[in-house]
Copies of this chain bind each other. A is one copy, B any other.
Amino acid sequence: MRADARKNRDHLLAVAGTAVTEQGVDVSLRDIARRADVGLATLLRHFPTREALLDALLRTSFDELAAQAAELETLSSPEDALVSWLRDCVAWTTEYRGVTVLMAAAIEDTESALHASCVTLRAAGARLLTRAQAAGMARSDIDGADLFALVAMLAWLGDQHSLAPRADHLFEVVASAILTSAGSSDAEEERRPWARS
C-alpha cells in the first residue's frame, strides 16, 4: 500500500471512530469523508461497505472482549466470570449506538466482514456459559447462541432512548434468569449473589 493511501486510511478510521461514537453506526459516510477532507469515493475504496469500515473500527474491541473472557475463565468463579463478562459486553455496545443490529445480521451472514468477529465473541461467551453450567450455577437449557441473543437484546435496549433507563435493571432480571438453576437455594441473597446493591 502506498504511503499516502495508508495515511488516508488511518485518518479515515480515526474520523470514523469519533463520528460513529457521536452519531451511531448509521452516520452518513459522506459526512465521514467530508470531516476527513477526503472524497466519498476514497472512503468507499478503502472500505467498500459500511460493514467493512465498522469491522476495521471494532475489531480491536472484539479481540479485547474475547481476551477478557479467557482471563475471567481463570481468575473468577464461574458465575462471577459469566455475569461480569456479559455486563462488559452490554456496556461496550453503548459506545457504538446501533451496532447490535449489524452484529445480529453478521453472525448468520458468512459473507459479512463482521462475521468472524461475531462468531469469536459468541464462542467466548459459550465457554464461560458451559463452565458455569458444569458448576451447576447456570440453567442448563441455554447455549452460546441463546447467550448471544440475550446480550444482543440487552444491548439493543440501551440503544433505545426511552428504554435505556431500564437497561441496568433488566440486565439483573435477565441475569437472574440465566443463573437460576433448579438446585440452587431459596434464599434471595444466596440465589442472586451477583446483584448490585
Contacts and interface: CB of A to CB of B under 8 A. Distances in A.
Interface of A: 101, 104-105, 107-109, 139, 141-142, 145-146, 148-150, 152-154, 156-157, 160-163, 166, 169-170, 173-174, 176-178, 180, 182, 186, 188
Nearest to A184: B186
A166 B149 contact: yes
Contact of A174 (B108, B161, B177, B182): B177
This protein's copies in its complex: 2
A152 B164 CA distance: 12
Interface-centre pick from A153, A160, A186 (highest chain B CB count, 10 A)? A153
Majority SS at the chain A contact face: helix
Contacts of A109: 162
Contacts of A152: 157, 160, 163
B162 A157 contact: no
Contact of A105 (B153, B160, B174): B160
A166 B154 contact: no
